[in-house]
Structure 1
Amino acid sequence: MQYSIPAAHPWWSRLLSRMPRTEDRPVRGRHLRALDTPYDDEPPPTLTELYRARRLDMVRLALFLVDDLPTAEDVVQDAFAAVCRTYGTSLDGLQDPGAYLRTAVVNAARSVLRRRRTSRAYTQPHQGYGPPVDEGLLLAEEHRQVLDALAQLTQRQREVLVLRYWSELSEAQIAQTLGLARGTVKSTASRALDILEKKLGAGR
């Protein structure tokens, strides 16, 4: 059976797409390129430049995966540390820093979720911590019900939908990021969409 990820966005995916994003910030007289755009004709950004331009977007991505803002910030820090350990601060030899960083964030989020399951010490999110200065940029109240519904999906389902409808990746890019076959991405997305639409309603 063939599945395809719907092109038309349901109401909840439009909520995700309206979440504010950071602009590519100019550094050294140039702009960082869009994610998944290799630097074939010039050196890639340094780790500092990548951090300044992509950190908030990566925190938002991690937030959708772990549903806990302080943990999401830790996940992104761990991902940048992993990039630094592998490629150093100059990122020499890294052709597509944005794609590599996104994969590192997904992997770090998976590690957090594994530790939660192992320790069985998971507490409900967004309780007992003071909001950071930039929380208003990261999470609007209208997204809460979407995050709650996403949290009830399996880890793979949540990853596929977040990468498709918030990061706006193609099936091929999702497959590369998650290490899956494209057919698995399609079937996972189709099942996850059915579950999410039942939880959230067909529309608003």
Structure 2
Amino acid sequence: MSDEGFDGEVTALFALHGDSMHRRLLASGVPVDEAESILQDAFLAVRRQWARIRDEQPAAYAHKVAWHLRQAYWRRVYQDKELVEELVKGHEEAYASGDEKVIASIIVREALQKLPERQRSVVELRYLRQLSVEEVSETLGIAEGTVKRHSHDGLRALRRELEQGHDGQGGPYQ
């Protein structure tokens, strides 16, 4: 069967199961826009594996992928929440107004700029754009082991920079 036929089958699968999967994600507390993103990613994964899974249980596979993506989303939320809480200390006024993510984003971006270029690129691709080690390796044209090393070293340096809480001029982030 041609790839176009696969696309039609995946579209039909989405028509049958997309709404229930979306409701399940929403019921688990995932925001609407993130639920839609998770569904798109899940069905892209289904499409990539369609030749292998089409005669098995493609709906179960789609549900499994969506649920794993949901779990990854909540892990990021909790990690981000802890980081935001650390970074926002001393910025209670902005925190109260709901601007904590903006402040955290600015602080993290400033700290990222202090990393060596390759570490910064790897950290941004891995953790901000959430690419896999393999995808970062392909994107940057470096070995997967190098990606892992730069991820480890870059995160350690970033954490150290954030813990120091300096704006690069000797003062705390304001």
TM over 0.5: same fold? no
Q: TM-score, normalised by structure 1?
A: 0.33
Query: Could you say which structure has the larger radius of gyration?
Result: 2
Q: TM-score, normalised by structure 2?
A: 0.39
Flag the structure with more relative contact order, 1 or 2, with Cα contacts below 8 A and sequence separation at least 6: 1
